[in-house]
């Protein structure tokens, strides 16, 4: 059984969904410390032909808190502003009429807990893309919470009965294949290919949010893009 684990990201890039689609079980890593200036509560979309960083406002944010202990701002203005930005930027995109209602539903979700809010967004995006991978919150898994880093990842894999663990390529220097092998787990890293698609008639801006991918590609084409990777 193939397992992958990642922190919850808000409208992440296509590589995040490649990782989910490649897995039998995807663990949303919600009981680790929040990281400021990471991708948990922000990402980038195309605005006026440039990459625009959007973010979700949070309450009393601290890197000393777990992700599932963080709460979103209870003021809805940020949701209306973000939806307005997305609408004005993509209203002429070929699949705007299909995708915008999904984005609106996700952003409008009435939940303040950051982890649950993002879990809902990932579930909705996977449903739209017909990705049937099982999604689990790490906080729901009985495990040794005294472990850290690689050892905690291995423990989660063992609890789930994983035979293969797939990590994003960014973790290549963090994990050792032999440490997984002695536990009968095959460690692989997923490396996205150079993904390019038409964005209006402008120079391509790579690695934007999944929002951008969906606005310019139908579900069939996105499914093809999800297979553009190699395991190493």
Mode of pairing for the β-strands spanning 186-192 and 164-168: parallel
Full residue range of the structural domain in which residue 143 is found: 2-231
pLDDT tens for each residue of 127-145: 999 999 999 999 999 999 9
Q: Which residues pair with 71 in a beta bridge?
A: 59, 113
Q: What is the mean pLDDT of residues 156-175?
A: 95
pLDDT at 204: 97
Q: Helix, strand or coil for residue 69?
A: helix
* Cα 82 to Cα 54: distance, rounded to the nearest angstrom: 8
Between the CA atoms of 189, 151, 3 and 230, what dihedral angle is there, to the nearest 10 degrees?
A: 0
pLDDT tens, 205-226? 999 999 999 999 999 999 999 9
Model confidence at 147, in pLDDT bands (50, 70, 90)?
very high
Confidence of residue 96 (pLDDT cuts 50, 70, 90): very high
pLDDT at 202: 86
The verdict on pTM exceeding 0.75 is: yes
Work out the average pLDDT over 186-202.
Answer: 96
Mean pLDDT of 99-110: 98
Average pLDDT of 73-95? 96
Domain count for the chain: 1
Tell me what the pLDDT averaged over the chain comes to: 97
| Out of 159-163, 169-173, 222-226, least confident range | 169-173
What is the torsion angle, in degrees rounded to the nearest 10, for the CA atoms of residue 62, residue 63, residue 65 and residue 68? 100
The answer on pLDDT for 75 being more than 90 is: no
For 111, the token pair is 């939940």
Cα–Cα distances (Å) from 182 to 83, 142, 154, 185, in that order, read 48, 22, 10, 7
Express the helix, strand and coil content of the chain in percent, nearest 5 each: 40, 20, 40
- pLDDT band for position 86 (cuts 50, 70, 90): very high
Q: Is the pLDDT of residue 157 over 90?
A: yes
SS3 assignment, position 94: coil
């Amino acid at each position: 059984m193939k397992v992958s684990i990642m922190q919850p990201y808000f409208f992440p890039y296509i590589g995040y969904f490649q990782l989910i689609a490649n897995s039998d079980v995807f663990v949303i890593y919600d009981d680790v410390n929040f990281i400021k200036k990471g991708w948990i509560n922000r990402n980038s979309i195309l605005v006026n032909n440039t990459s625009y960083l959007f973010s979700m406002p949070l309450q009393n944010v601290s890197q000393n808190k777990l992700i599932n202990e963080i709460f979103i701002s209870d003021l809805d203005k940020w949701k209306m502003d973000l939806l307005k930005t997305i609408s004005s930027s993509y209203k002429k995109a070929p699949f705007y009429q299909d995708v915008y209602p999904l984005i609106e539903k996700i952003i409008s979700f009435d939940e303040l807990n950051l982890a649950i809010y993002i879990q809902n967004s990932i579930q909705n995006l996977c449903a739209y893309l017909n990705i049937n991978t099982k999604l689990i919150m790490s906080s729901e898994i009985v495990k040794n919470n005294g472990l850290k880093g690689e050892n905690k990842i291995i423990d989660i894999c063992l609890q789930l009965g994983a035979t293969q663990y797939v990590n994003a390529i960014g973790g290549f220097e963090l994990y050792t294949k032999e440490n997984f092998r002695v536990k009968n787990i095959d460690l692989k890293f997923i490396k996205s290919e150079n993904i390019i698609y038409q964005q209006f008639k402008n120079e391509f801006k790579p690695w934007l949010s999944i929002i951008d991918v969906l606005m310019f590609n139908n579900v069939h084409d996105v499914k093809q893009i999800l297979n553009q990777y190699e395991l190493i």
